[in-house]
Chains A and B, each alone.
Chain A
Amino acid sequence: MARVLVLGYGNPLLCDDGLGWQVAVQLFRANASPDVEVLPCHQLTPELAEPVSRAEVVLFVDCRRDGNPGEFYCEELCPESAPVAFTHHLSPTALLDLSSELYGACPKAYLVSICGESFETGEALSPAVERRLPELKARLHHLITDALAGSMAAH
């Protein structure tokens, strides 16, 4: 059973929105560790609560729309039971809450993200996001390494 779950999400046909998807696909192809499960997905859906509940650490990768294009964030997440009008897709914190409520397990979780610049139709990331991509990947690598070493500290 994988100890670290990486969930990269977004629409790869909407430029920067596909950041999480693209990162997860690259990581999925490169990943050889049975301790790391990588799931590229278009949206965070309720079914993901089950694999989330099985992980020790969950790393969400996304592109955010608020903030200045190219800004990089890495934040620890806590479950949040905010009202959700529609449940085709969820926020990371709502997914953690669902995992906790349904399966009684809420792993440590982080969201690594970059503010996007373009959400138009297209497969290319904007220059602002491309510039910070190496930093995001490096942070993701560190988070995975720390999680596997059992030394998850504040990032």
Chain B
Amino acid sequence: MEEATRKTIVIDPVTRIEGHAKITLHLNEDGRVEDARFHVTQFRGFEKFCEGRPFSEMPALMARICGICPVSHLIASAKACDALLAVRIPPTADKLRRIFGLAQVVQSHALSFFYLSSPDLLLGMDADPAKTSLFGVLAEKQELARDGIRLRQFGQQIIERLGGKRIHPAWVVPGGVSEPLSQLNRDAILAGIPEVLKIAERTLEWFKSVVERFREEVATFGNFPTLFLGIVKKDGGLTFYDGGIRIVNAAGDVVANGLDPADYQQYIGEKVESWTYLKSPYYMPTGYPEGIYRVGPLARMNVADRCGTPRADQELAEFHELQRTAVLSSFHYHHARLIEILYCVERMEQLLNDPEILSKHVRAFARPNSPEGVGCCEAPRGTLFHHYKIDEQGLIRWANLIIATGHNNMAMNRGILQVAKHFVRGERLTPGMLNRVEALIRAYDPCLSCSTHAWGEMPLVVELHSPSGEILDEVRRPC
């Protein structure tokens, strides 16, 4: 059955649209989990079918990879195109792109935390699956549901105000942005900030009040030593737009700093495994698989010395107190995500109050001046690389993307094994077991469409295998 499905995915384009992720849990003779794998069996296509397209089309084309975080792809792609043009974009365009990216982080994190994970946090990991949705949250704690919806709406409205539409806006272009910000839109965004700042603060307080209930999950949800990777400013501050790559180890020590994202191929390797379309990036100096690292909110909180905004800095200092070393449990992705929402709102307010922000000079024009360009930014789920090579006509000849979910591939696999070893017993998957395995994945907030650059829906399948390979149990969840 498994083999047949894989063949169908490769051959049949309908299956490519459907796609799916699958977890296999392998039991030993004692009925305990011995191995676990997270298979992403979607076809990886965007890097190939963009070949031959004019480079100027890339931002809009790449944004189609994802309906949740198109803005991150727009920004990374546009930055790669800026490198092809070899231009320095106008300062106002730089700031507007930053606001755009921060709004994206707010809406994406709100979706992850409130829509997907808050039911577990509010109702418990063993709650009736029929109730573990936003509607379950609504019934139990209406303010939490309302806050989540408002935060996501706020982020989306900013994207719409800047980009003209909520999904797949094409406002970020090579050389800058296509339109300046109007005073009307600036004032409208600023007017909403006090409300969402309060939401971010009270959600953080709520999370900190409930996290004690999840000691067992904190201890077993991807709680192991790895490296952490993210971009930071020159002063070590948090940034989502540009900076140097910093890598810290599990002890919290900086092992690499100020690495140029354009040189990523010198320190990031991509291992291909036969059982998944998702590559496994690793830190080359440490080798594979020892070079396992994590990216995203948890990694950013571990690599950053400070946020650079007052409230988020307080929260980050508190976060760093969770552990003397780097904060290792992937359960804390939730906590980190909430701090980032707070930071994004504060930082947007700073940028919107910048006297230059309404400047009309928002785009630099040039012809291609370099045959190769790399764009890098921090997407909601982690560090995002777009790398293009063009010919003399400006047509794409080669492209490579490294997506946040890909960076976390090894860590997700190891995390699934850890959580499954702890919670899965016997030959049947109970809802509580299944939910914990899924909750571990939710903590990383993976985007499988992004990571394989595929289209479509991704139902999740969890299989329990006997030592002989027999499927003992299978559970399917729509995604």
Contact = CB atoms under 8 A, between A and B. Distances in A.
Interface of A: 13-14, 41-42, 45-47, 49-50, 81, 83-88, 94, 97-98, 101-102, 120-121
Nearest to B167: A42
A102 B135 contact: no
A46 B167 contact: no
Contacts, number: 60
Given A98-B135, A102-B146, A121-B17, A85 B129 contact: yes
A85 B149 contact: no
Contact of B135 (A13, A42, A50, A83): A83
A102 B142 contact: yes
Interface of B: 13-14, 17, 67, 111, 115, 129-135, 138, 142, 145-146, 148-150, 152-153, 156, 166-167, 455, 477-479
Nearest to B67: A42
Contacts of B145: 102
Contact of B149 (A49, A84, A86, A97): A49
A46 B138 CA distance: 11
B138 A120 contact: no
Contact of A84 (B135, B150, B479): B135
Contacts of A97: 135
A5 B131 CA distance: 30
A84 to B, nearest CB: 5
Contact of A83 (B67, B133, B152): B133
A114 B226 CA distance: 52
A59 B288 CA distance: 55
Given A83-B130, A86-B479, A101 B153 contact: no
A85 B149 CA distance: 17
A84 B115 CA distance: 11
A50 B146 CA distance: 10
A23 to B, nearest CB: 16
A101 B145 CA distance: 11
Nearest to B154: A47
Chain B CB within 10 Å — which of A46, A94, A120 has the most? Answer: A46
Given A46-B115, A47-B156, A49-B149, A85 B130 contact: yes
19 contacts: A47-B153, A47-B156, A49-B149, A50-B149, A50-B153, A83-B130, A83-B133, A83-B135, A85-B130, A85-B132, A85-B133, A85-B478, A87-B133, A87-B135, A97-B135, A98-B134, A101-B138, A102-B145, A102-B149
A64 to B, nearest CB: 17
A46 B479 CA distance: 16
A87 B138 CA distance: 12
B133 A102 contact: no
Given A94-B135, A101-B138, 4 more contacts: A41-B167, A46-B148, A83-B130, A86-B479
Nearest to B17: A121
A120 B135 contact: no
A13 B142 CA distance: 36
B138 A88 contact: no
Nearest to A14: B17
A139 B369 CA distance: 54
Contacts of B156: 47
Nearest to B148: A46
A84 B119 CA distance: 12
Given A88-B111, A102-B149, A46 B134 contact: yes
Nearest to B137: A87
B67 A102 contact: no
Given A101-B138, A102-B138, A47 B130 contact: no
